[in-house]
């Protein structure tokens, strides 16, 4: 049976796949599961959301579900996902619930759950919650509804975002004075926090796409649409551009020439800075298999070890915790600094990146040049069944043939999306043409074996 939770919580089309009824079931199951692990008190849950319209609807359902179990709910309102995780740990709450579909289009939404440590729940806990949800849907989940004064209460946390912003400013290793930054907030959860943090840390800030209206989140802007940011950096002669997604757990950048600086390059810059300051534990960086070979080469040349994981920030975090490492992340811009944040934090990443620029006086293009990226092509193939498509023999044969043809000069990576009905085909090769041709050939096979109904 497929897991209810993907690599980044539960996600789907709001009010169709992710309905208020389903959101309420998730909340009830989460509260009961936590209570089974700790019977000393009713759980205290902090609930946050991004500004898309459906987040208001789902927040109401989540709050109702939690309080129906006797849980105490603290509503933090609109704030970035890492801000929600920070508030969970700083207030001593038992659970965090973030309502957001991150970089997905506005009609989608999602629910992410965080433990008392500010980390995403372990797979086994998510599976327990999933089992409870399935039991509810089957009508076999028995629970006693509290009544009277045992029903949960709801409180508002009015200054949660401000506490989070102060935490980020305090984490800056040096002032950002002298830098002009354009920040694209994706009309999302960072629209107020990110510009305020960068300005308080010393930078001159120009904000774009920082006026959320409930429907414009990620709409032609943010980390998945970098064109407007690139133009704004050039038009304003800025030193750097920062792009966030809808819930600000990722950060991509644009250098002074208008060129995109991806998560691999950002991680390399931070890794070298942290090694210099003595913060990089065991001179090790954690990244996923999706990272460009250029990152691996650059780190090897610099004497920094690279630990590779499966795709997904939860797997990066697991490796960070297992090795007590200090830095890890993904090419997409999810970067984790465990000493400061329990999860990927795009605003924190941007602060650290700009701090390195300010401290060295070097341009972003110069700093990012440490990574010479191999041409990389990623094709997202919409399929009927993502897992069956990846396992198909003809698809595997196409991948094997392509890998043999590329040899040591490139690689092929095929994986199902953790949140969408997609198969991701990634190819690296010595030339853009070869990478594109190879990826297209494999993608065509995938479409053939698993057509969309």
Catalytic center residues: 102
Other Cβ atoms closer than 10 A to 213: 11
Structure-token pair, residue 299 = 């780190």
CA 402/CA 129 separation, integer angstroms: 41
Are 116 and 129 spatial neighbours (Cβ–Cβ below 8 Å)? no
DSSP per-residue letters across 97-129 = EEE--TTS-TTEEEEEEE-TTSSBPPHHHHHHH
158-182 burial: b if 16+ Cβ within 10 Å, else e:
eebbebbbebbbebbeeebeebbbb
Furthest-apart CA atoms within the chain: distance in Å: 70
Residue 379, strand partner residues? 425
What is the DSSP pairing of strand 204-208 with strand 260-261?
A: unpaired
- DSSP symbol at 95: E
Between the alpha carbon of residue 49 and those of residues 52, 161, 170, 172, 219, the distances in Å are: 8, 12, 24, 26, 18
CA 259/CA 261 separation, integer angstroms: 7
Are 328 and 286 spatial neighbours (Cβ–Cβ below 8 Å)? yes
């Amino acid at each position: 049976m497929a897991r209810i939770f993907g690599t980044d919580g539960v996600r789907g089309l709001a009010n169709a796949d992710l309905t208020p009824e389903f959101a309420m079931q998730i909340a009830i199951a989460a509260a009961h599961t936590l209570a089974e692990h700790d019977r000393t008190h009713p759980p205290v849950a902090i609930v946050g959301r991004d500004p898309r319209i459906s987040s208001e609807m789902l927040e109401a359902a989540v709050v109702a579900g939690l309080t129906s179990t006797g849980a105490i709910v603290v509503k933090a309102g609109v704030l970035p996902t890492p801000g929600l995780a920070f508030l969970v740990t700083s207030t001593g709450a038992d659970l965090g619930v973030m309502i957001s579909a991150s970089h997905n289009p506005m009609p989608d939404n999602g629910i992410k759950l965080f433990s008392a440590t500010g980390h995403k729940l372990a797979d086994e806990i998510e599976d327990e919650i999933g089992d409870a949800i399935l039991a509810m849907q089957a009508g076999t989940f028995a629970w006693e509804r509290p009544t009277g004064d045992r029903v949960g209460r709801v409180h508002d946390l009015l200054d949660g975002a401000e506490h989070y912003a102060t935490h980020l400013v305090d984490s800056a290793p040096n002032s950002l004075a002298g830098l002009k930054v354009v920040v694209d907030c994706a009309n999302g959860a960072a629209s107020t926090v990110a510009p305020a943090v960068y300005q308080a840390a010393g930078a001159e800030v120009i904000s774009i796409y920082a006026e959320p209206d409930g429907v414009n989140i990620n709409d032609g802007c943010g980390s998945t649409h970098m064109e407007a940011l690139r133009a704004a950096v050039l038009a304003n002669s800025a030193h750097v551009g920062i792009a966030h997604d809808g819930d600000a757990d990722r950060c991509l950048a644009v250098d002074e020439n208008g060129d995109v600086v991806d998560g691999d390059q950002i991680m390399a810059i931070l890794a070298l800075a942290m090694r210099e300051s003595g913060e990089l534990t065991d001179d090790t960086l954690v990244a996923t298999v999706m990272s460009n070979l250029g990152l691996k080469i650059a780190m090897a040349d610099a004497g920094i070890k690279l630990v590779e994981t499966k795709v997904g920030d939860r797997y990066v975090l697991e490796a960070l915790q297992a090795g007590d490492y200090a830095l890890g992340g993904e090419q997409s811009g999810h970067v984790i600094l465990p000493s400061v944040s329990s999860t990927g934090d795009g605003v924190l990443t941007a602060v650290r990146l700009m701090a390195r620029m300010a401290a060295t006086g070097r341009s972003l293009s110069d700093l990012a040049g440490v990574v010479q990226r191999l041409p990389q092509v990623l094709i997202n193939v919409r399929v009927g069944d993502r897992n069956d498509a990846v396992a198909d023999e003809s698809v595997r044969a196409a991948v094997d043939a392509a890998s043999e043809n590329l040899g040591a000069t490139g690689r092929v990576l095929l994986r199902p999306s953790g949140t969408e009905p997609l198969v991701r085909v990634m190819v690296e090769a010595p030339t853009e043409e070869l990478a594109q041709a190879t990826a297209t050939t494999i993608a065509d096979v995938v479409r053939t074996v698993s057509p969309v109904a």
